[in-house]
Amino acid sequence: MADIRLLEIGARARLRRRARRLAAGAAVFAVAGVAAFGSYAALRPTAPRPNGVAVGDDAPVVHIARALQHVLPTPTPGPVQAAGGCITLPILYYHYIRVNPDPRDHLGFELSVTPPNFQAQMDWLRIAGAHPVTLAQMMAALQGGPALPSHPVVLTFDDGHDDFATQAVPVLMANHFVATSFVVPGFLNTRGYMSSLQVQQVSADGMVIGAHTVHHVELTRVSAAVAQAEITQSKALLEQLIGKPVLDFAYPYGAFTVPIAAMVQRAGFRDAAATTWGTQQCLSNRYALHRFEVLGSGSVAAVASDAGVPGPPAGWVDPGLPAA
Give the Cα-Cα-Cα angle 136, 139, 144 (nearest 5 degrees).
Answer: 125
Q: How does residue 272 score in pLDDT terms, banded at 50, 70 and 90?
A: very high
Check whether 282 has a pLDDT greater than 50. Answer: yes
- Region of 168 (left: φ > 0; alpha: ψ -120 to 50; beta: rest) is alpha
CA 50: distance to chain centroid? 19
Query: pLDDT (tens digit, 9 = 90+) per residue, 43-66?
Result: 333 333 333 333 333 333 323 334
Q: Answer yes or no: are the C-beta atoms of 98 and 280 closer than 8 Å.
A: no
Q: Which pLDDT does position 68 carry in this prediction?
A: 42
Q: What is the mean pLDDT of residues 251-271?
A: 97
CB count, 10 Å around CB of 15? 15
- The answer to whether the CB of 56 falls within 8 A of the CB of 92 is no
pTM for the full predicted model: 0.78
